[in-house]
Homo-oligomer: A and B are copies of this chain.
């Protein structure tokens, strides 16, 4: 129950298409069910600092099997998961990370996208996740 490289590359192609359609330049990372990198692409001219963020978003989404933005709501000051970002060598908990499911609804990996506003990052990640 693990994403294949072919599926990961399909997700990256779909994410790139969405990214171009909304005129952004993204870093796109796909991890498997073990939260380990399967495929990655940095579009020409994309922010260098988003490289690490895209991978951390993908890992974070798989670590907790939910969209990264949901964790970010709980990690605020006073929230139940305040500063959870200190774990796992650094989480990124704002939008742009989404679990990837197979046709049976089982989680087989996750996608992380970074390079624009969090709304655009999420939209591109969603396009990638839905391609599978």
Residue in B43, B75, B81, B92 whose CB lies within 8 Å of A84: B92
Is the CB–CB distance between A82 and B87 below 8 Å? no
Is the CB–CB distance between A40 and B39 below 8 Å? yes
Q: Name the interface residues of A72-129: CB closer than 8 Å to any CB of B.
A: 72, 75-78, 80-94, 117-118
Q: Name the interface residues of A30-57: CB closer than 8 Å to any CB of B.
A: 32-44, 47-53, 56
Write out the residue numbers on chain B whose beta carbons fall within 8 Å of the beta carbon of A88: 49, 52-53
A67 on the B face (CB < 8 A)? no
Residue in B5, B50, B83 whose CB lies within 8 Å of A75: B83
Write out the residue numbers on chain B whose beta carbons fall within 8 Å of the beta carbon of A42: 5, 36-39
Q: Within the complex, what minimum Cβ distance (angstroms) separates A69 from chain B?
A: 10
